Structure 1
């Protein structure tokens, strides 16, 4: 059996801190999905080839980019790292109807209707799907404060890819059925928030992966 190689993916934890608690946006994956159907996850998906070519309104913060580049392999390039940020914001737009960036007056056919603004993205964590799964992803998880991005939390709209959108207290997600890795990433966010609510751009980020049947957590 041919081994499935992980493909680049990006996911985003959009945070609303306008109330007395910090909430994160999650949605339920459609039952039609082969990978993790009917579970609540953060908006996200695989990096498309065209994401490298998308013009941006704001570049990745240098500290976030530096951390993102760690252990990225020989294929690491500025365009690939930028594409990961673009993928996160593109998926947020496609799955939750939220735009982060500058609108385009005349977008090209099949192109994004806006230029993504990557400047407020923090790199939170990275996780590689273990071998043996029906799909494998090398996912980078970003955080984004809604107020910094000038996003109205009430504007989130469900899609055929991500249903039943909810804003969930990051410290109280009981009753929400999530994949194990989603819960782990949420726990990483909890620890980071407790250490510094501003989520500094250059903070260390965990890397989750499996090797020889054992689960590992390294720091980048």
Structure 2
């Protein structure tokens, strides 16, 4: 499915708490992002793209707008769509009369009636502007971000985010159909409420709010927006594999890794992960994939070799498969440390054989006393959160304790390159299973939030390719988890009380039934988190809403 062009606008004002932004809550029955608070926005319509209809109603031209967005043409249509959607969804018309008087300031227009006519199709916004001599604020808006919905959701959008100052004499109002509530809120407060599960947000909104939280007032936000966002490369890149050379496009799992390697002079990186093949990801990082593919492990567990041939560390030696251990030893050189992110059986068992063959010290946290753990794992050294490990004079790994998927889970940050070795805390291509009692959903979300404060360039996951734009990846995970948690709460309210088997069918109705057993473990983690927060309770094997 090709994403549809769309535009979103952050309407901002200066309030008692500093910068405030307008957010609308989508209806709980919406196909796309139900129940979530969003900025006004929607798809670019054909009428938005017909520049002839807007003659005299927009002060800038398409060439100027397209330069701001970094596109060859069609930039003005995004700005027009943002203004139109803001009027339709929020009742705020970002426009002036041609004499410079702000719309709403002279009370000559009944915006409530005009909005209804535009929404009902009785009147087009271009006609409204021509009839009343209005000029849209398309030249006063800043450009914040560019988001493309990843594959999977029922609808996909290629969305440009803008920022505009709220007209002082107009009042916002949700439309009562597509949106059911609205609020003016400080960005930092919205993020705080979201972290507490009280204010559902999508990942693009979270990332935009994080950006806006840095500004004290509208002027600073607009100044930032007029500089435009940093633009990531979007051109396809070539790669090799067993089916020959082909182009890899943005959004495909291998894209970020292949684009990185192209920039570093590798002419044709691989678009597939093949066990036993050593892949050099940077001068300090090599990867060997273990031969243990599966539903939960993807192509196999990634073992990373970090450092040089003279001194290196191995991260996650993987399962105890003799051939894999031999491949690690042959590729690594002198191994000083064997690091484990956690003690699930696809990550740590080979540490014993590798230690016996190399004499390297094993570093990690002991295995918890719960099922599915590598009970034979005994580290030589247990690190502390924040500790720095000097692998060689130019290679430093910082230890970050990230409980959630497992209570003893660690991530390792290569400080010289800002690459996070995430183990199973962040995975590519699948949702991390949170399996109580050792898995803890509340701790997982807190650990993800902590990573948002790190300076990250790439994530090197335990399964899959290098992942670019790490903070966006993390935001998507958090928003997905909180959206699922909101669905748990909705199912509890609708059913009044249900056992876990019934709840799985309700909460995970978008997941194949063959995966409901695994999904049930994460469901339980959500229920326990809600119970800890007083939003759910269990009696006699049945879960109920409230404390």
Identify the TM-score tier after normalising by the shorter chain.
0.7 to 0.9
Matched with 1:171 is 188
> Is structure 2 residue 227 aligned with structure 1 residue 203?
yes
Matched with 1:182 is 205
Matched with 2:172 is 156
Matched with 1:23 is 20
The structure with the largest alpha-carbon Rg is 2
Matched with 1:118 is 138
| Structure 2: gaps of 5 or more residues | 99-108, 233-249, 254-428, 430-465, 471-547
**Residue-by-residue CA offset, 1:14-61 (whole Å, 9 max, x unaligned):** 001143411100011112310101110000000001102241332279
Offset of residue 162 of structure 1? 1.9
SS state at 1:22 partner: strand
Offset of residue 102 of structure 1? 4.2
> Is structure 2 residue 7 aligned with structure 1 residue 10?
yes
Matched with 1:59 is 60
Indicate how the Cα distance of structure 1 residues 27 and 202 shifts in structure 2: closer, same or farther if over 3 A, else same: closer
The structure in which a higher percent of residues are helix is: 2
Distance in 1, matches of 2:31 and 2:89, equals: 17
The worse-fitting range, judged by mean Cα deviation, of 39-48 and 173-182 is 173-182
TM-score norm. by structure 2 comes to 0.34
> Is structure 2 residue 78 aligned with structure 1 residue 81?
no
Distance in 2, matches of 1:63 and 1:171, equals: 33
Distance in 2, matches of 1:215 and 1:28, equals: 31
Indicate how the Cα distance of structure 1 residues 186 and 210 shifts in structure 2: closer, same or farther if over 3 A, else same: farther
The worse-fitting range, judged by mean Cα deviation, of 117-126 and 174-183 is 174-183
Offset of residue 180 of structure 1? 1.8
Offset of residue 123 of structure 1? 0.3
Matched with 2:396 is none
Matched with 2:165 is 145
SS state at 1:166 partner: strand
TM-score norm. by structure 1 comes to 0.79
**Residue-by-residue CA offset, 1:191-213 (whole Å, 9 max, x unaligned):** 4x26x825325424145873315
Alignment equivalent of 2:33, drawn from 22, 31, 36: 36
Distance in 2, matches of 1:183 and 1:52, equals: 29
Give the number of equivalent residue pairs.
203
Distance in 1, matches of 2:67 and 2:28, equals: 37
